[in-house]
Amino acid sequence: MALSGMIDDEWLIRRQAFCEARIAARIDMDIHGRAGLVIAGLHRELAAIFLVQNELLPMQIHLVAAGKILRAQGLAHGLLLLGLAGAHVVLEDPLARTVIQVATRLDEHGGDDAPRVAGTDYYSPHQWLAVLQAGLLAGPADEPGQFAILIDRLRPQASVTLANGLPLGLYLDLLAPREAASSVAQTRWDDLSAVFSWRRRALRIAKNDIYHWEGTLDLAKLIDFDLLALFVCRPTDEAGGRPFWDQVIGEDALAVLPMALADRVRGFGESGPAFAH
Amino acid sequence: MYIQWCVKGIASRPGFDWAAAQSTVSAQHGIISNWWHHHGQITPADVAGELNLANLYRHLNDYAAYGPVSPFISLAAGSVERDAYLQTNTVHSAIDTGLWFATAYGTRPGALFYCWTPVGLNPAVEVASVSESVRDLDVYRDYLPFQPEGEITAKVSLPSNQIQRVEWWDSFAAAGPVHTFVNPSFVEPTPLTTLRELF
């Protein structure tokens, strides 16, 4: 999918140079502090820029850089970014293990030999979801295995809002359908349509604000790594033939962007990039 | 009310170069809103008529049309706290945001003003003396995710004694500013806080 005409190429080049310069300006800063989160955000934005330009190796490098920093800060979104780069470290990750343990023992009440794990971050639905996303990226989406407990814990949290504004319940029903299913398009078409509609509406409003659209577009948010992960895990073209968004043009092309870009990312990590660990 | 440190990026243009940026502080003009610029002279009654929620949303959502006459001033404060990070997966640096605006998205030189402003804990759009935290998830929830921008919105003007220093950047790719002017008339926000030092 070409983005010609939708995002100014010259703007993309300047934004890439900006992100690189701002990372370089922080070369001596401690990545474990707040500066690390800023650096990770810049790497993630660079990954988005390279992804839309179909430059997949630098995209992977920046996803890994962002993922490593976030993981070091105890933020499971880093595991998701690493998974998208093909570095499926979630299976051996201490943070993921602790999150799963917390979810497993959530109903225990006192008197237990093993003390309850403390720490808000381990109990955040957003952390649970990120571990689940990374887990499904690492293995077949229809066989969540050790991550199934996270699905059970997340189901009742349907009203939690994701970073992209979508309700968790809608997203989770697409990522991990309640019924046995092989394809999002076959089983959850209404929900999928809701995602498209939401993106169309948000983009239409955003583009009306010409000043900010032309100057301060956040490409990482436009790519939407949550939706990217969803469609990497659950391709919608399993019925055969080209996915319909290959034929989508004009205004709607940005609305289906994460779905279309997922095809570029899918399959990373079957061998795994050596630089990721 | 709390005190928020912020950065304001202003790109160069005819009539606004390093000398003018420095003069904003040294001549004690402060940063004035485009509305004030546009009218030349304003009165308290004029201010009361301009500060309302509808105009704030026009400033945030329709800057291309309304910005040139807006009484509001966008400031970057950076975001976010760790709890909010878990929901947004994003931390923006105020300096990065300010620099992107100050260089007109990487096309020309510009100024970064480092300043503080009092911010209301709740929306108080009509009160000129406090700024609004427009990106605070607890206050203004109906934001759009694609366009991070100024997190704080000041009103009408920002006094020069609240500006600690101004920097001039030739390019965002530079290692640092080419000029810096520290404001000798700067007033620390300490007197407004609840902290009292012992002596």
Assess if residue A225 is contained within a domain.
no
> What ipTM was predicted for this assembly?
0.90
CA distances (Å), A79 to each of A135, A140, A265, B188, in order? 9, 17, 15, 42
% chain A with pLDDT above 90: 51
CA distance B94 to chain A (A): 10
pLDDT of B92 reads 85
Q: Of A25-39, A65-79, A164-178, B122-136, where does the model show the most confidence?
A: A65-79
Which residue carries 């992100």 as its tokens? Answer: A19
- Given a cut of 60, is residue B97 above it in pLDDT? yes
Which residues in chain B have Cβ-Cβ distances shorter than 8 Å to A162?
87
% chain B with pLDDT above 70: 91
pLDDT of A93 reads 95
Chain A contact for B68 (CB, 8 A cutoff): no
* Beta-carbon separation of A212 and B63 below 8 A: yes
Residue of B nearest to A168 (CA): B87
pLDDT of A187 reads 54
Assess if residue A53 is contained within a domain.
yes
Question: With bands split at pLDDT 50, 70 and 90, how would you rate the model's confidence at A186?
Answer: low
Task: For residues A14-43, give the mean pLDDT.
Answer: 94
Which residues in chain A have Cβ-Cβ distances shorter than 8 Å to B62?
208-209, 211
Better pLDDT: B148 or B114: B114
Mean pLDDT of chain B: 90
Q: Name the nearest CA neighbour of A150 among A179, A182, A127, A169.
A: A127
Question: With bands split at pLDDT 50, 70 and 90, how would you rate the model's confidence at A190?
Answer: confident
- Given a cut of 80, is residue A137 above it in pLDDT? yes
Structure tokens at B182: 């520290």
Residue of A nearest to B172 (CA): A18
* pLDDT tens digits, one per residue of B154-190: 999 999 999 999 999 999 999 899 999 999 999 999 8
Assess if residue A273 is contained within a domain.
no
Which residues in chain A have Cβ-Cβ distances shorter than 8 Å to B86?
75, 121, 124, 126-127
Better pLDDT: B19 or A119: B19
% chain A with pLDDT above 70: 83
Question: With bands split at pLDDT 50, 70 and 90, how would you rate the model's confidence at A216?
Answer: confident
- Given a cut of 90, is residue A79 above it in pLDDT? yes
Chain A contact for B105 (CB, 8 A cutoff): yes
Mean pLDDT of chain A: 85
Given a contact cutoff of 8 angstroms between Cβ atoms, the answer to whether B16 and B29 are in contact is no
Pairing relationship of beta strands B179-182 and B163-169 according to DSSP bridges: antiparallel
Long-range residue pairs from A16-23, CB within 8 A, at least 24 positions apart, any chain: A16/A46, A16/A49, A16/A50, A17/B106, A17/B172, A17/B173, A18/B96, A18/B99, A18/B100, A18/B106, A18/B172, A18/B173, A19/A43, A19/A45, A19/A46, A19/A49, A20/A46, A21/B172, A21/B173, A22/B93, A22/B96, A22/B99, A22/B172
CA atoms within 13 A on the CB side of B43: 2
Domain of A4, in residue numbers: 1-73
Whole-prediction pTM value? 0.91
Question: With bands split at pLDDT 50, 70 and 90, how would you rate the model's confidence at B196?
Answer: confident
pLDDT of B151 reads 83
Task: For residues A164-193, give the mean pLDDT.
Answer: 76
CA distances (Å), B148 to each of A191, A197, B76, B92, B101, in order? 27, 22, 10, 8, 12
% chain B with pLDDT above 90: 73
Check: CATH 3.90.210 for B2-192?
yes
CA distance B198 to chain A (A): 30
Window 1-60 of B, Cβ < 8 Å to A: none
- DSSP-H helix ranges across A177-266: 184-187, 189-208, 210-216, 219-223, 225-233, 251-255, 257-265
What is the CB neighbour count within 10 angstroms for residue A27?
7
- Given a cut of 70, is residue B33 above it in pLDDT? yes
Question: With bands split at pLDDT 50, 70 and 90, how would you rate the model's confidence at B7?
Answer: very high
pLDDT of A241 reads 46
What's the count of helices (H) and strands (E) in chain B, helices before strands? 7, 9
pLDDT of A110 reads 64
- Given a cut of 80, is residue A4 above it in pLDDT? no
Assess if residue A93 is contained within a domain.
no
Assess if residue A198 is contained within a domain.
no
Structural domains counted in chain A: 1
Which residue carries 């006192």 as its tokens? Answer: A110
Domain boundaries defined on chain B: 2-192
* Beta-carbon separation of B86 and A75 below 8 A: yes
Amino acid at B4: Q
Residue of B nearest to A20 (CA): B173
CA distance A160 to chain B (A): 9
Q: Of A133-137, A142-146, A268-272, B82-86, where does the model show the most confidence?
A: A133-137
Q: Which of A69-73, A165-169, A193-197, B99-103 has the lowest mean pLDDT?
A: A193-197
Q: Name the nearest CA neighbour of A227 among A186, A188, A175, A190.
A: A175
Q: Which of B89, B100, B141 to mutate to test the interface with A (most CBs of A within 10 A)?
A: B89
CA distance A113 to chain B (A): 30
Question: With bands split at pLDDT 50, 70 and 90, how would you rate the model's confidence at B99?
Answer: very high
Task: For residues B50-62, give the mean pLDDT.
Answer: 91
Better pLDDT: B66 or A112: B66
What are the beta bridge partners of residue B25? none
CA distances (Å), B158 to each of A49, B28, B184, in order? 36, 10, 16
Which residues in chain B have Cβ-Cβ distances shorter than 8 Å to A215?
100-101, 105
CA distance A189 to A183: 10
